[in-house]
Amino acid sequence: MKHPNLHIKTKLPNTGTTIFSIMSALANEEKAINLSQGFPGFKIDSKLTKLVAKYMDDGFNQYAPMTGVPKLCEAISNKVTKLYGTTYSAEKEINITSGATQAIYTAIAAMIRENDEVIIFDPAYDCYAPAVTLHGGIPVFINLLEPNFEINWDEVKKRVSQKTKMIIINSPQNPTGSVWTAHDIHQLEKITAGTDIIIISDEVYEHVIFDRLDHESVTKSEELASRSFVVYSFGKTYHATGWKMGYVLAPEELMKEFRKVHQYNVFTSNTPIQHAFADYMQNENKYLKLPDFYQKKRDVFRKSLEGSRFKVLNCSGSYFQLLDYSDITDEIDTEFAIRLTRESKVASIPISVFYNNAPKQTLLRFCFAKKESELKKAAEILCSI
Ligand SMILES: Cc1ncc(COP(=O)(O)O)c(C=O)c1O
């Protein structure tokens, strides 16, 4: 179907279908082990699904309040106070969203105007820059420092200007697995102190952090928290990415602006699931045990890769492992990722797609949120290459 008078001037000329959809489709077509897209490859707790069913049966099937079900916001407020020591008002400073992506998009929509600059650290999760561009903002990309993908604070200092409206940070980081230290928080405080630069802190992997490291949430810093949107995902913490449920914390003044957009965007998120999470969250072991749960998977995957020609990079958090294939081939990463899926039946994501301006690299990202048997099988194939 084509209309003769329809001449669309795209608002996102450089954006195509995300690589996640492309690689997952290819993995399905090739019946490959899919370590590309970041979603858990195992069942969620049936206690949680039973709770959702219960609330559906009990009639909790109509619109929830725009800000979220009050008992869920209370549970979140208590959790944040206990873990990070800062109290957010359940009523005024917490909002339930349809996934972390929606929270990020809505915060950007509420804050960014024409020509506002937004600092993004590359390689970055792919939803940040398009949302900035759609609202007339200008993404300012700063590449993380290899090999450990740390922030180049000297460069940040140079690139922060009068035009900087926002900085988007993400720890533990997708796709590199790097995590922020207290030093990073201190640097960000120092560079932005006395400014009104807004921070979006994407903390969806707060509980996917290894080697007994602490998650350095911006909520712990009064200087930063007082001008931050802090974003979380129930999908990541409870293995239910397909439910697309998350939440955002922000001081009242910022949250008021967030809600002006949210109410005309999604308005509200899934009611029975909100009630179910409010109950399920009461068992804090479900998230406190997550670092050990995922560390075991990380270690199985890394150990099974011993002796392979892939170099295994550091991974301190998130459920992604970077592998360097420079000892195998000098193909570009997109081509090698496709060939690996077609010929060896293991799907990954090439790292260059997470950059605006990718340096010369030979890195692929593998998701290890999968069953151990699947990780071992994938590693065995990779070892044979
Ligand atoms: C860093 C990061 N932020 C946000 C999201 C999206 O979370 P949600 O599915 O809750 O929208 C993801 C999902 O992969 C992610 O890796």
Helical H segments across 5-95, by residue range: 19-30, 46-57, 70-84
Query: Distances from the Cα of 304 to the Cαs of 37, 299, 301, in angstroms?
Result: 21, 8, 5
In contact, 265 and 101? CB cutoff 8 Å: no
Ligand 1 centroid–CA 205 distance in Å is 9
**What are 3-35's pLDDT values in tens digits?**
999 999 999 888 877 778 888 899 999 999 999
Name the residue at shortest CA distance from atom 16 of ligand 1: 174
In contact, 217 and 209? CB cutoff 8 Å: no
**What are 285-331's pLDDT values in tens digits?**
999 999 999 999 999 999 999 999 999 999 999 999 999 999 999 99
Query: Distances from the Cα of 72 to the Cαs of 272, 274, 277, 311, in angstroms?
Result: 11, 6, 7, 43
Kindly provide the b/e burial profile for residues 160-183, where b requires at least 16 CB atoms within 10 angstroms of the residue's own CB.
Answer: beeebbbbbbbbbbbbbbbbbbee
Ligand 1 binding pocket mutation candidate from 121, 125, 245 (most atoms within 8 A of CB): 125
Closest to 33 in 3D by CA, of 383, 346, 259: 346
- Ligand 1 binding pocket includes 99 (Cβ within 6 Å): yes
- Ligand 1 binding pocket includes 173 (Cβ within 6 Å): no
Ligand 1 binding pocket mutation candidate from 18, 21, 101 (most atoms within 8 A of CB): 101
In contact, 114 and 263? CB cutoff 8 Å: no
CATH 3.40.640.10 residue ranges in the chain?
62-283
* pLDDT tens, N- to C-terminus, the chain (385 residues): 989 999 999 998 888 777 788 888 999 999 999 999 889 999 999 999 999 999 999 999 999 999 999 999 999 999 999 999 999 999 999 999 999 999 999 999 999 999 999 999 999 999 999 999 999 999 999 999 999 999 999 999 999 999 999 999 999 999 999 999 999 999 999 999 999 999 999 999 999 999 999 999 999 999 999 999 999 999 999 999 999 999 999 999 999 999 999 999 999 999 999 999 999 999 999 999 999 999 999 999 999 999 999 999 999 999 999 999 999 999 999 999 999 999 999 999 999 999 999 999 999 999 999 999 999 999 999 999 9
Name the residue at shortest CA distance from atom 7 of ligand 1: 100
Closest to 169 in 3D by CA, of 230, 220, 222: 230
Ligand 1 centroid–CA 100 distance in Å is 6
Ligand 1 centroid–CA 354 distance in Å is 14
Q: Find how far residue 114's CA is from the centre of its chain.
A: 26
CATH 1.20.1050.10 fits 62-283, yes or no: no
Closest to 385 in 3D by CA, of 311, 287, 318: 311
In contact, 169 and 200? CB cutoff 8 Å: yes
Distance, CA of 312 to CA of 298 (rounded, Å):
11
Residue 353 is classified by DSSP as G
Across the strands, what pairs with 169? 201
- Ligand 1 binding pocket includes 269 (Cβ within 6 Å): no
Ligand 1 centroid–CA 5 distance in Å is 38
Per the omega criterion (within 30 degrees of 0), is the bond before 251 cis?
Answer: no
Ligand 1 centroid–CA 233 distance in Å is 7
CATH architecture of the region 19-44+288-383: Alpha-Beta Complex (3.90)
Distance, CA of 311 to CA of 146 (rounded, Å):
14
Ligand 1 centroid–CA 258 distance in Å is 19
- Ligand 1 binding pocket includes 237 (Cβ within 6 Å): no
Cα maximum dimension of the chain = 61
**Beta strand pairing call for 164-170 and 198-202:** parallel
Ligand 1 atom with least separation from CA of 245:
10
Ligand 1 centroid–CA 277 distance in Å is 18
CATH 3.90.1150.10 residue ranges in the chain?
19-44+288-383
